[in-house]
Structure 1
């Protein structure tokens, strides 16, 4: 069962991006609230930060985690563009037994730290768009591990 996405629980894997009033201030003559520096782009040496839109579609339930990936050269941030809950699966090592699944609210994003194992985007709606801050540049910034048949983590329906 997924655990609710919370800053302290997610800290070993990256940052939670949300509108926390403790990290905000008013600008534009008091008409705009700025939630400042919620995460920092980390493109790594020789890279540049880029913005993309990822459009996710749901995986069949129950969701089977058959692989993990990581980006050794830069962090990757996902911010939902619609207010639908979604899932984040991360792991300290590339093993099904090490996976942790978080249920993110539709107003929460995450920045997955450089080198952290994670599953690709897991949406629960028929289609959901995300603004993604990622790295472009030289070098191999994608490593993937595929699990042996049947040695998968499974996520119960939410």
Structure 2
């Protein structure tokens, strides 16, 4: 069984797969008479293919049993898909450029204040959380057309959770 190491989620490392959604390093706009800060343009939402529209959802995810097995990858050919944690819990992101090529897989440890916006056609694993009842705001596409492609791996991979804290 192939073991996949986990690296920290950074904008640069994740760029081939989409965008990291975070406020670190950004200058906020002061709003509401100075009682709030606003961060604009955190992600490029791409859902217009074949007449699609923005869909905003709330996901509540459960932790998978350890060791975490990677058996399935999916992608959305008609739109991007953004995940933003709401309860501040750390979580995991697994992506690849080609599900048939083991060397193209990458795993990232996302902090509880980091989201990701998977680019259109980016192969990714379904949501991976470390604690039960982890809530996420999800922005993706609704509308006609086939916007889900799944690939079941011939050989299961396993995440090396020891590297998640590094």
User: Which TM class, normalised by the smaller chain length?
Assistant: over 0.9
Aligned to 1:36: 40
Aligned-residue RMSD, C-alpha: 1.2
Where does the alignment leave 5 or more consecutive residues of structure 2 unmatched?
none
- Tell whether 2:16 aligns with 1:16: no
TM-score (norm 2): 0.89
Aligned to 1:106: 112
Within 1, Cα distance between the matches of 2:153 and 2:133? 26
Q: CA deviation digits over 1:35-67, x for unaligned, max 9?
A: 111012211220000100111111111111111
Within 1, Cα distance between the matches of 2:135 and 2:101? 27
Is 1:21–1:35's contact at 8 Å kept on the other side of the alignment?
no
Within 2, Cα distance between the matches of 1:84 and 1:72? 29
Within 2, Cα distance between the matches of 1:152 and 1:23? 42
TM-score (norm 1): 0.94
Q: 1:87 aligns with which of 79, 89, 92?
A: 92
Go from structure 1 to structure 2 and tell me whether the alpha carbon gap of 1:68 and 1:96 turns closer, same or farther (over 3 Å shift): farther
Q: Which runs of 4+ in 1 moved over 4 A?
A: none
Where does the alignment leave 5 or more consecutive residues of structure 1 unmatched?
none
- Tell whether 2:166 aligns with 1:156: no
Within 1, Cα distance between the matches of 2:113 and 2:101? 28
Number of matched pairs = 156
Aligned to 2:137: 131
3-state DSSP of counterpart to 1:69: strand
Is 1:69–1:117's contact at 8 Å kept on the other side of the alignment?
yes
